[in-house]
Structure 1
Amino acid sequence: MRLVFLLLSTSFLTGLFSCNSSVDSALVSLKTSTYEYTGEGRCDTTKHRGVSVSARYVQLVGESSATRSINDSLRAMVAWGILGWVDSAAVAQMPTARTDLNAGARLFSASYRQMGEEGRMFGGCWELEIVADTAFTSPTILTVRQETYVYSGGAHPNTQATFQSFSRRTGHALQLTEVISDTTALRGLVERAFRKQQDIKPGQNLEDAGYFLHEGQFFLPGTFGVGREGLIFLYNPYEIAAYAVGPIQVTVPYSELKKILRNDVL
């Protein structure tokens, strides 16, 4: 069962960039880059073995240092989207895979072959598909959401999403502590939004409700993004709940973040 991604044309992406901005961003354009693994061990649909690796991601058009920095980071995000399903020891032996999509795909293919040699193969092709699109843009911020679908044997495929926000002035990838001054206070705000979305009463124990906590404490997810209405927080499958629950995405409105938001960044 495949995850259906929305594949956007370059012209539509350019329009999306403009529509998502709070002011006119017509002078900013995007292009779509694609990658497909065609090397040794690629999926043979007749024999049902091998691997399929593909990616579709956005790149900014321009030659400024900030644009180059953002584009390098976006390519690296795709590379790590592949390497997240490869043994870290193998990555350490091929450091070029951190930026070279083809090298990463070869490592993914090598993992497939190794599983087969060890007799742990369930049959069928392994598949890894990545799609990255803009989630929000403004004159100062670009946020990209990257989704990864992977099937590497087992009972079901896995999906994972990642947000990354960038300063359009510098090309710097923003960390949470650069956007928020008090992450402890933020955690309370995210938990409140989480409970409201999941229909969990304020006093109800989250673990009793089937959610995973860190030493009994609610925690912030591994990925966040700057959005139009507020900060977006995404819990991927298995991060705070069982696979069947799926991803959980909550938004904390800027109106609730006034006291802890670093306005100089946004």
Structure 2
Amino acid sequence: MKIILSICFLFAFVSCTSDSVTALEIREFEGAVCADCPKVRISIPEARENTILGKSVNTGIREEIIELLDFAQNKNAVDIPGAIDAFTEGFRNLQEEFPEELTGWEASVAGTRSYEDPFLLTIELETYIFTGGAHGYGATRYLNFDKKTGAELSGSELLKDPEAFSAFAERAFREKYDIPAGAPINSTGFMFEDNQFTLPENIGLSADAIVLHYNPYEVASYADGSLILEIPLEKGLAFLERSTK
């Protein structure tokens, strides 16, 4: 397995001389390259400073990757190299059991800083995993961090009033996907539970929008792919729980 540390630092949205920018660097991990090895490639931002925020960012990203790769908890991995080893071991165990039927496994993670201001940092993780079957599964995960406390924030914790924002987002969702205002939310083929609109598991920020990202299967079929609703920041900022103290 290769671990590659890049000298390229990620500074976005503000000047690299500003104290408001969290110092991140790209770190890359690769699985072993051999005929009977799964393909694993990970490229993620890593906080350089040993602060509460830095530790929280690195822990949050690491835990997401461990959950993706050591999904069967074969080795109870505690770090990314261990998670890659667990993924490889899972593939080889299945290979021994079904040597003629098994197709190659693959996993990838690409992380970027999607938003940062003096109070909030958002990391976007694009993941893909294939462990056999008709197709793999790609998903997006947003990790939001309060820069003052280091706490990782859920989507609802980003919002002053999740219920009010949900009503606002439903109107935007209906407009984007041509669902009449008086019709059930699933009337055009969506699969919201109990036929009630809900916010996605993944809410994050980009440079100019609050992003609501429904991953495949969350509210629609796999064939429909991800559903992405972007609320322009000028309209969405009033809904955000932003500390200025």
Q: If the TM-score is normalised by the length of the shorter chain, which range does it land in?
A: 0.7 to 0.9
- Alpha-carbon spacing, 1:265–1:132, altered in 2? closer, same or farther (3 Å): farther
User: RMSD between aligned alpha carbons?
Assistant: 2.6
CA contact (8 A) 1:224 1:233 kept: yes
CA contact (8 A) 2:9 2:25 kept: no
Rounded Cα–Cα distance in structure 1 between residues aligned with 2:85 and 2:181: 48
Of 30, 33, 46 in structure 2, the residue corresponding to residue 59 of structure 1 is 46
Whether 1:74 aligns to 2:61 is: yes
Structure 2 counterparts to residues 1-266 of structure 1, below 5 A:
11=8, 13-14=10-11, 17=12, 20-21=13-14, 24-27=15-18, 28=21, 29-38=23-32, 43-44=34-35, 49-83=36-70, 86-87=71-72, 91=73, 94-95=75-76, 97=77, 99-119=78-98, 122-257=101-236, 260-264=239-243
CA contact (8 A) 1:178 1:265 kept: no
SS at match of 2:144: strand
CA contact (8 A) 1:121 1:153 kept: no
SS at match of 2:173: helix
* Stretch moving more, 99-108 or 135-144: 99-108
Rounded Cα–Cα distance in structure 1 between residues aligned with 2:175 and 2:7: 37
- Alpha-carbon spacing, 1:182–1:35, altered in 2? closer, same or farther (3 Å): same
What letter corresponds to residue 50 of structure 1 in structure 2? C
Give 1:56 deviation, angstroms: 0.5
CA contact (8 A) 1:231 1:252 kept: yes
Any gaps of 5 or more consecutive residues in structure 2? 1-5
Give 1:156 deviation, angstroms: 1.6
Rounded Cα–Cα distance in structure 2 between residues aligned with 1:260 and 1:43: 50
Aligned to 2:3: none
Instruction: List per-residue Cα deviations over 1:132-153 (Å, max 9, x = no partner).
Output: 1111111221111101111211
SS at match of 1:145: strand
Q: Percent of pairs identical after alignment?
A: 26
SS at match of 2:128: strand
- Alpha-carbon spacing, 1:25–1:196, altered in 2? closer, same or farther (3 Å): farther
Give 1:131 deviation, angstroms: 0.6
Give 1:26 deviation, angstroms: 2.8
TM, length-normalised to structure 2:
0.83
- Alpha-carbon spacing, 1:114–1:137, altered in 2? closer, same or farther (3 Å): same
* Stretch moving more, 157-166 or 57-66: 57-66
* Stretch moving more, 128-137 or 162-171: 162-171
- Alpha-carbon spacing, 1:43–1:216, altered in 2? closer, same or farther (3 Å): farther
SS at match of 1:70: helix
Rounded Cα–Cα distance in structure 2 between residues aligned with 1:227 and 1:261: 13
Any gaps of 5 or more consecutive residues in structure 1? 1-8
Give 1:75 deviation, angstroms: 2.4
What letter corresponds to residue 30 of structure 1 in structure 2? L
What letter corresponds to residue 65 of structure 1 in structure 2? I
Rounded Cα–Cα distance in structure 1 between residues aligned with 2:165 and 2:34: 45
CA contact (8 A) 1:10 1:30 kept: no
Q: Which has the higher strand share?
A: 2
- Alpha-carbon spacing, 1:128–1:169, altered in 2? closer, same or farther (3 Å): same
Rounded Cα–Cα distance in structure 2 between residues aligned with 1:265 and 1:128: 40
SS at match of 1:219: coil
What letter corresponds to residue 8 of structure 2 in structure 1? S
